[in-house]
Amino acid sequence: MKIGVLGSGSIGGTLAKRFSASSHTVKVANSRGPDTIDADVLSTGARAVTKEEAVADVDVLILSIPFIRIPDLAPLLAKLPAETVVIDTSNYIPARDDRIEAIENGQPDSVWVTEKLGRPIAKAWNTIYSATLKEAGRPVGDPERIDAPVAADRERDRDVTMALVEESGFDAYDAGTIAEKAIHKPHLLTAEPLVYSGAVGVQFHGSSAS
């Protein structure tokens, strides 16, 4: 699968590294240019490119940038074919982002994102700490494998995203549409801290489909 990643930080960089190690063709970009992407992110075969190159000829585009900057991507994503799966990993955090009145007044943040981008998205990896994503992925069947919700409106978006979440080391489950995404925002879940190789993670309770 051809995957583009916008954002080379703790989430985007980890996903780029993991998927390129799994034989996917991965391109990764950030806002500062390809020369600034950490060598470790590229160590398993991902290629550093410009943001324009990252969105060209991909099956999946992963957005891993600060939530408030997502609307800036609309002109770039307008070039994507409708069938491209776009996955957003971000969360709206008022203390960090500018206050967004529509969300404060009850609009689900993922619905706000789709309106700003003008296209459907899937939501994934947003309930997982960056250290957990990096350290706590487990093989299928491992009793310590962590649940991870996936929300999407289109069936293909959901299926592709769930497969990638599984491949990244977590048990994906269908959390419904993006309008229902608020039910699995991190601060609304009962969580129990876990420690994996010194990294604190979260196990969500009552969230698994199994």
Residue 100 reports pLDDT greater than 80: yes
Find which of 101-110, 152-161, 176-185 is predicted with most confidence, using mean pLDDT: 152-161
pTM of the model: 0.86
Closest CA to 46 of 31, 32, 66, 62: 62
How confident is the model over 70-90, as pLDDT tens digits? 999 999 999 899 999 999 999
Q: Do 140 and 204 form a contact (C-beta atoms < 8 A)?
A: no
In a domain, 191, yes or no: yes
| Overall domain count for the chain | 1
Q: How confident is the model at residue 199 (pLDDT cuts 50, 70, 90)?
A: very low
Pairing of strands 191-196, 122-123: unpaired
Residue 158 reports pLDDT greater than 60: yes
Tokens of 181: 């995404």
Tokens of 144: 């310590």
In a domain, 181, yes or no: yes
C-alpha separations of 63 from 68, 79, 101, 197 in Å: 12, 15, 22, 27
Q: What is the CATH number of the domain that holds 59?
A: 3.40.50.720
Report the distance separating Cα 128 and Cα 126, nearest Å.
6
In a domain, 210, yes or no: no
Residue 208 reports pLDDT greater than 80: no
| Average predicted confidence (pLDDT) for the chain | 87
| Domain membership of residue 167 as a residue range | 2-204
Q: What share of the chain is helix, strand, coil (3-state, %, to 5)?
A: 35, 20, 45
How confident is the model over 136-145, as pLDDT tens digits? 888 888 888 9
Largest distance between two CA atoms of the chain: 44
- Mean predicted confidence (pLDDT) in 157-175: 96
In a domain, 209, yes or no: no
Q: How confident is the model at residue 36 (pLDDT cuts 50, 70, 90)?
A: very high
Report the distance separating Cα 65 and Cα 67, nearest Å.
6
How confident is the model over 105-119, as pLDDT tens digits? 999 999 999 999 999
